[in-house]
Structure formats: C-alpha cells, structure tokens
Structure 1
Amino acid sequence: MPFSLFVQNVLNGAGLGLLYSLVAIGYTIVYGILRLINFAHGDIFMMAMFFVYYGAFLTPIPWGICAVLAIGLTILLGATVERVGYRPLRGAPRVSGLCAAIGMSFFLENFAIVVFGGRPKPFLYPDALGKMIIIAGIHVKMITFIT
C-alpha cells in the first residue's frame, strides 16, 4: 500500500473517530449528570442529520445555515426529551428511567421512519466540501478537515 493511501485512510479514520468520540462524550456527560444511560442519544444525533438533510435539500437555505439551524433544532429536541421523558422520573427507581430511555429511543426511531421514510438517502454535500486538498501528494477531502 502506498504511503499516501495509508495517510489518507488514517485521516479519514481520525475524522470518523472524532465524530464517534463526540457522541461518547455526550453519553458520558448525560450519565454523569443524570445517572441515566440515555438510549435515545444516538437517535437524537440521527434526527440532527435528518434536520440538515431535509433543510439543505428541500429548502433554498444554504447548507451552512441549515447546519446551524439543525444544531438549534437538536438542542430543542434534546431539551424536550429531557422535560417530557426524563424529568418526571427523577425521583423514581432507576429502572423507570431506563425504561423511559429505551421507550424514547424506540419512539424517535419509529417517528423518523414515519416522517422521513425508511429508505437510505444519498447525502450530497456542497462542492466546496468535496474539493480535494493535496498536501505532499496526499489527497484529502475538505469535509475530512471540517469534521
């Protein structure tokens, strides 16, 4: 394997690993504060991706603004999940919170299937993010540096 291909794969893996680490840090923060394993955490992340996808492809709003709006909508969704699903169970036994977290996860997954459909969707990011950057013979997409 050429060294440049190895470095490209390392950079792609690092970008994906950093994304996974953000999700893991979110799990850790929620567990540290609420002492609750939030099974809906990944589903809220999924909803954020759908917010960006549909905002960018169904509206004339630029992609970057859609990403910022998706962050706001995701914060609102997370706060709603906490207020509706978890806050009423603060004094209850831990198994109640666990059941609520699993139920919220199922709800968000099925809500996404009903509203957004269950088929895979292509995500075409703007040309500027797909532009290749060449550094010392190593080709890396701009999106890798942003993530």
Structure 2
Amino acid sequence: MDLEMFFEQLINGLTLGSTYSLIALGYTMVYGILELINFAHSEIYMVGAFVGLAMVTVYKLPFAVALVAGMLGSCLLGIIIEKAAYKPLRKANRIAPLISAIGVSIFLQNAALMIAGPQARSFPSGLNIRTLSVGSVHISTLQLLILVISIVLMVGLQFLIQNTKLGQAMRATAQDKEVAQLMGIKIDSIITFTFAIGSALGGAAGVLVGVYFDSVDPTMGFFPGLKGFVAAVLGGIGNIPGAMLGGLILGLVEMIGAVYMSRYKDAIAFAVLIIILLVKPTGLLGRNVQEKV
C-alpha cells in the first residue's frame, strides 16, 4: 500500500470510525447506568436513518433538518423503549431485560420491513459534495462534514457529562444508584434521559451513514450495531471516552485491514476485539471494579 492510499484509507477509517463511536456511546451510556446491553440500539440507529430519509425525500427538507429530525425520532423511540420494555423489568434478574432487548430489536426490524419493504433506498442528501485534494490525497467534503458533526456531538456529550449538574447526576447514578437517590436525584428521570441522549446519537449515526453510503434499508443496523458494541467493549464498556476511542480505532483498523483482506472486512472488527480482550479484558480505558456485596 503506497503512502497516498494509506492516507486516503486513514480518512475513510476516521470517517467510518466516528460513526461507530456515536453508536458505541449509546451502548456504553446505558450500560454505565443500568449495566444493561441495549441490543435494540442497532434498530434505533436504523429508525433514525429512515426518519432522516423521510425528511429529505417526502418533505423535501434540507440535510441539516433531516439530521436533527433523525436524532429526535431516535430519541423519542429510545424513551418509549425504556418505558415499555426495560422499566417494568428493572428489578427482575439480568436475563429478563436482555431477552426483552433482543425482542424489541426483532420487533423493530420486522416492523420496518413491513412498512418500508426489504429494498434499499437511496439517501439524496442535497449537499454540494466536492473532492478536495491535499497533495495527491483526495478527501470529499462529505467525509469532512461527517467527521466534524461526529466530533461536535462527541465533544458536546463530554461537556454535558463533565460540566453540567445533569451530567453530575448521571455520573452519581452510574456510580451508586441507591446513594444518588438518597441525595435527591430522580433516578428514573436520569435513566430516561440517558436512553434519550444515547438514542439521539445513534440516530445521528444512522443519518450520517445513510448519506455516506447513499443507502438505507431495514437491516442496515445489524453490522454497524455489532461494531458499535465491539467499539464500546474495546474502549471499556461504560467508559464514554473509551467508546469514542474504540470506535475510531475500529474504523481505522477495519479500513486499513480491508486493503489486504477485503473479503474479511467485517471479521477484522471481531478479531481486534478478541485480541484486546485477551490482553486487557476491561478494554483500553476500562478499569477493574470490585463487586459490592
């Protein structure tokens, strides 16, 4: 692989990795609060893409509005799922909400197949996409836009978590729900808000990926959802900076590895996960936490 191709694959990897990071944040935020893997998150990502597509194709609205609408649609869906499928099982054993999450995922995917049909749909962004040349390296303005939007969303989330009272309440809830409740924090509201923010980020990723690949379909969430989960575990499940880092690393490794093993592009993500877990089971930024008894 020559230097020019390396830098282009680097840009491709960062672009794709930034969307993995957005998906991973949804997984890791929910796990940090509830210690629950929300396997319906991949379908929330898919629904966000379809909402954005509808804004562009049916209502002829600009891409910026479609992106916000996709985030709001996914946010609302995340809240509904939390209230209907997870909240009633909050005191049940851990396997019950896990089965509920898988059930919601299957339901949403089949509902989308019934409503939209199995065929892939083109996502016309309406953006004036150009190719920029830096020396012999070519970068599209769409790639730069996706990177900028993803970075802004991730920085915004980090600011919310670290510098606001709401973020402080989320961190307290993640650390110890019982103590947080004794301090006056409304646990139910914090959990709902966590689902809402994580789902909105997943919806943003869905719209961005739909535009990037110019394709949206009801099964589009399967592999990105798995890779977002891999990114969350890779960085350290429950760790927000870890989810961001894990997504970027996964995108880079996948794109660069695809040059040599294009047929095994999807397998590379899971190979990386296995290697990292063998070396550092808690993930790159994860820490060992002793169980309370």
**TM-score relative to the length of structure 1:** 0.92
Structure 2: any 5+ residue segments left out of the alignment? 147-293
2:87 counterpart of 1:87: yes
Q: Which amino acid aligns with 1:135?
A: V
* Deviations 1:32-77 (CA, angstroms, capped at 9, x unpaired): 1111111101110011111111211111211211111111111111
Give the structure 2 partner of residue 142 of structure 1: 141
Larger deviation: 20-29 or 71-80?
20-29
Structure 1: any 5+ residue segments left out of the alignment? none
Q: Which structure 2 residues correspond to residues 111-126 of structure 1 after superposition, within 5 A?
A: 111-126=111-126
Percent identity, please: 35
Q: Which amino acid aligns with 1:132?
A: T
| Count of matched residue pairs | 146
**TM-score relative to the length of structure 2:** 0.48
Give the structure 1 partner of residue 70 of structure 2: 70
Structure with higher RCO (Cα < 8 A, 6+ apart): 2
Shift of 1:134: 1.7
2:5 counterpart of 1:5: yes
2:63–2:127 Cα contact (<8 Å) kept: no
Q: Which structure 2 residues correspond to residues 25-104 of structure 1 after superposition, within 5 A?
A: 25-104=25-104
Shift of 1:2: 4.3
Inter-CA distance 20–107: structure 2 relative to 1 (3 Å threshold): same
**Structure 2 CA distance, aligned partners of 1:134 and 1:145?**
12
**Structure 2 CA distance, aligned partners of 1:77 and 1:60?**
23
Inter-CA distance 2–124: structure 2 relative to 1 (3 Å threshold): farther
What secondary structure does 1:91 align onto? Answer: coil
What secondary structure does 2:91 align onto? Answer: coil
**Structure 1 CA distance, aligned partners of 2:122 and 2:69?**
20
